[in-house]
Amino acid sequence: MIIDIHGHYTTEPQALHTFRDKQLAGLADSARKPGSADLGITDETLVKSVEPQLKFQKERGGDLTIFSPRAGGMAHHVGTEAVSLEWTRICNDLIHRICTLLPDSFVGVGQLPQSPGVSPKNCIPELERIVKELGFVGVNLNPDPSGGYWTDPPLIDKWWYSLYEKLCELDVPAMIHVSSSCNPNFHHTGAHYINGDTTAFMQLIQGNLFKDFPALRFVIPHGGGAVPYHWGRYRGLAQDMKRPLLKDHLLKNVFFDTCVYHLPGIELLSKVIPVDNILFASEMVGAVKGIDPETGHHYDDTKRYVDQLRLSEKDRLKIFEGNARRVYPRLDKLLAKRGHGNRK
Amino acid sequence: MIIDIHGHYTTEPQALHTFRDKQLAGLADSARKPGSADLGITDETLVKSVEPQLKFQKERGGDLTIFSPRAGGMAHHVGTEAVSLEWTRICNDLIHRICTLLPDSFVGVGQLPQSPGVSPKNCIPELERIVKELGFVGVNLNPDPSGGYWTDPPLIDKWWYSLYEKLCELDVPAMIHVSSSCNPNFHHTGAHYINGDTTAFMQLIQGNLFKDFPALRFVIPHGGGAVPYHWGRYRGLAQDMKRPLLKDHLLKNVFFDTCVYHLPGIELLSKVIPVDNILFASEMVGAVKGIDPETGHHYDDTKRYVDQLRLSEKDRLKIFEGNARRVYPRLDKLLAKRGHGNRK
């Protein structure tokens, strides 16, 4: 089974965008607020909206996508905490409906109603709802709700601890994923995303978070930002800071996906990061939409790169399925229940 | 000849730090201002201070280091523009003295008296001084004088244009190098540096800067941040944005150094970036000081990695010398005058 752990819903129906416009217009003029949170999107429209996603999934040989709301759309920096909460619930509910309509293709991951300067504790009710009521298997956690100004505390600060407690209790991992950037210095998918990944990993080196939360699991997307390319730098910085070896300090709890859009990058990733810490993903349909003239295939068809790695079949299976089922235990249980065997 | 294009003066005499303390104390209490900009540092002390640098240079087989003030020390976000200017002149003057005392080992590159929110135009007098009077061959340009809050405009904004005009007129390249971070989210050498590199490159993709300044040359340090690892993403983003191929859009003007502290990283760099765009560098004595237990050698002994690449000797010579002399034409002239032949 090929599990893509990183897919966002980027082909949403127009009705969702119309709602968002009205919601934000309502900040300036309350008369423009949307009358209802019912978007009037039919099941048929929803299924149709994910056809591009399903077409790629099928063509490329994927089976199941861990599906979450558009990352850039979370935009936690926009509006108030109440706006963030309303928007989050609507986005998560759409994911839930899609996963219910197409359970063999999609499993849900949610966004959180974060807001800059607001305690992450306030996200707990929505986290409980999406896991317990909607059956989501993980969550996206934005390390910079300010959208490119990084005004909240680092991930190792106690500021985040109540949320981590709940993640451990619910046994769901968090993908550390920023949203759009309102800082003109940072192109969102070309700079802010990658910087967010790099920044988060370095924060984890500085702290001792997994001593406090041995069961907490983070996925760093986009191949870990700059981290594998600079693996020597990070090993060396940890050493200079008298931290344990990275494999002991972080790699029991931190995982990287394969959203790296060329073969040399994926080769590097698999060379320096242990196979147990690599989870297959494409972020399709996402950041890069075109076809690479050097290969004739879509840049984000990352399965082709993984297929080309010199790996044992056992290791390849870990990347495509086994690691995902280990890092997302609720997914594993779901698949076992559906007859897809046990991950062991 | 082995030219290391990226060395900072990180072993400064205590007198420099004492001056800086007094200078910044003077912001709060003018009675504590230093009485004089004369630090009382003798030539003997200066030569002694760079002994660690010279020892490594010799042991590792380097010949010449392009030497600039400590990057983290620039701290453009601290104090006023006047403080930045005074500090900059003192730091540049020390570099000049070292390069005069040890001309076979060091050639100077300067810092600029940047200050957040202040026009880069104000840096022009110091830029002219260091190039025309001190004989410096390049300059470090901080894309984020705020120190981690990124409050100034992106590098492609006209905000920077007067400085670029002067760089072209003087025919000196700029290394795009952030300074220390006052944002607790960003470890300075582990996150802010690498993010700065990635961010700058993405800004250049978005703009069309080298159409306006065909002669402008930027060096992106630390192996280009995350860029080579995500080369497919950047090629794809440029394509989606209808930009020309990166080799045409940027690679006549943008160069990467080899400050990547493990062999797989350097291998990736040399695989995806054309050899004409790679300049040897170590940033020694710098970000990472330890010895890699996996190799038994210093992480930042980057010459060992370059030596291990499968390259023609012609290409290796480009990385070690030829490209540096092309990108830094004032260095080339200096070396030719000293009898080191012509780069062609």
Segment B67-115, tens digit of pLDDT: 999 999 999 999 999 999 999 999 999 999 999 999 999 999 999 999 9
Hey, what are B92's tokens? 């540049």
Contacts of residue A285, Cβ cutoff 8 Å, sequence gap at least 6: A10, A11, A52, A53, A56, A300
Q: Which two tokens stand for residue A297?
A: 């295939």
- pLDDT in the model for residue A329: 98
Mean pLDDT of the region B257-278: 98
d(CA B142, CA B138): 13
3-class DSSP string for chain B: CCEEEEEEECCCCHHHHHHHHHHHHHHHCHHHCCCCCCCCCCHHHHHHHCHHHHHHHHHHCCCEEEEEECHHHHCCCCCCHHHHHHHHHHHHHHHHHHHHHCCCCEEEEECCCCCCCCCHHHHHHHHHHHHHHCCCCEEEECCCCCCCCCCCCCCCCHHHHHHHHHHHHHCCCEEECCCCCCCCCCCHHHHHHHHHHHHHHHHHHHCCHHHHCCCCCEEECHHHCCCCCCHHHHHHHHHHCCCCCHHHHCCCCEEEECCCCCHHHHHHHHHHCCHHHEECCCCCCCCCCCEECCCCEECCCHHHHHHHCCCCHHHHHHHHHHHHHHHCHHHHHHHHHCCCCCCC
User: What integer is the mean pLDDT of B47-51?
Assistant: 98
CB atoms within 10 A of CB B293: 9
Cβ–Cβ < 8 Å for A217, A329? no
Chain centre to alpha carbon of residue A289: 18
Arithmetic mean of pLDDT, B294-318: 98
Count Cα neighbours of A242 within 13 Å in the Cβ-side half-sphere.
0
Using a CB-CB distance cutoff of 8 angstroms, which residues of chain A are in contact with residue B299?
232-233, 235-236
Instruction: Give the ipTM of the model, two decimals please.
Output: 0.97
Predicted confidence at residue B105, as pLDDT, reads 98
Phi then psi dihedrals of residue A312, to 5 deg: -70, 155
**Cβ contacts from A onto B, under 8 A:** 200
Cβ-defined contact of A222 to B236 (cutoff 8 Å) = no
* All residues at 6 or more sequence positions from B215 whose CB lies less than 8 Å from its CB, including other chains: B168, B171
pLDDT at B343: 64
Tokens (6 digits) for B105: 């080992």
Mean pLDDT value of segment B328-337:
97
The overall average pLDDT reported for chain A is 97
Distance from C-alpha of B173 to C-alpha of B167, rounded to nearest angstrom: 7
Nearest CA in chain B to A149: B149
Beta strands in A27-116 (DSSP E): 64-69, 106-110
Active-site annotation holder among B12, B81, B126, B283: B283
Query: Are the C-beta atoms of residues B260 and A233 closer than 8 Å to each other?
Result: yes
**Could you tell me the pTM of the whole model?**
0.98
Q: What is the pLDDT of residues A228-242, one digit of tens each?
A: 999 999 999 999 999
Please determine, for residue A256, whether its predicted confidence score (pLDDT) is greater than 70: yes
pLDDT digits (tens, 9 = 90+) for B167-176: 999 999 999 9
Q: What is the mean pLDDT of residues A287-302?
A: 97
Are the Cβ atoms of A226 and B229 closer than 8 angstroms?
Answer: yes
Hey, are the CB atoms on B265 and A232 less than 8 Å from each other?
Answer: yes
| A186 contacts in chain B (CB < 8 Å) | 150, 199, 202
Residue A267: CA count within 13 A, CB half-sphere: 16
pLDDT tier, A165 (very low <50, low <70, confident <90, very high otherwise): very high
* Residues B320-342, mean pLDDT to the nearest whole number: 95
Q: CA–CA distance from A324 to each of A38, A153, A263, A305, B95 (Å)?
A: 34, 29, 21, 18, 53
Checking if the pLDDT of B342 tops 80, the result is: no
Kindly report the backbone phi and psi dihedral angles of residue A65, in degrees, each rounded to the nearest multiple of 5, phi listed first: -115, 130
B147 to chain A: closest CA residue: A149
What is the pLDDT, as a whole number, of residue B341? Answer: 83
Are B272 and A292 in contact (CB < 8 Å)?
A: no
Could you give the CA distance from residue A341 to residue B166 in angstroms, rounded to a whole number?
A: 67
**pLDDT per residue as tens digits for the range A141-156:** 999 999 999 999 999 9
CA distance B256 to chain A (A): 14
For residues B131 and B170, is the Cβ–Cβ distance under 8 A?
yes
- Other beta carbons within 10 angstroms of residue B245's beta carbon come to 12
The two three-digit tokens of residue A213, written as one number: 């939360």
The mean predicted confidence, pLDDT, of chain B is: 97
A156 to chain B, minimum CA–CA distance in Å? 10
- Contact criterion met (CB < 8 Å) for B237 and A149: no
Contact: A235, B292; criterion CB under 8 Å: yes
Residue in B103, B67, B90, B68 with CA at minimum distance from that of residue B15: B90
> Which of B146, B176, B198 to mutate against chain A (most A CBs within 10 Å)?
B198
Mind telling me how many Å the CA of B56 is from chain A's nearest CA? 17
Helix, strand, coil share (%) of chain A residues, nearest 5: 50, 10, 40
Whether B283 is a known active-site residue: answer: yes
Distance between CA atoms of residues B94 and B68, nearest Å: 9
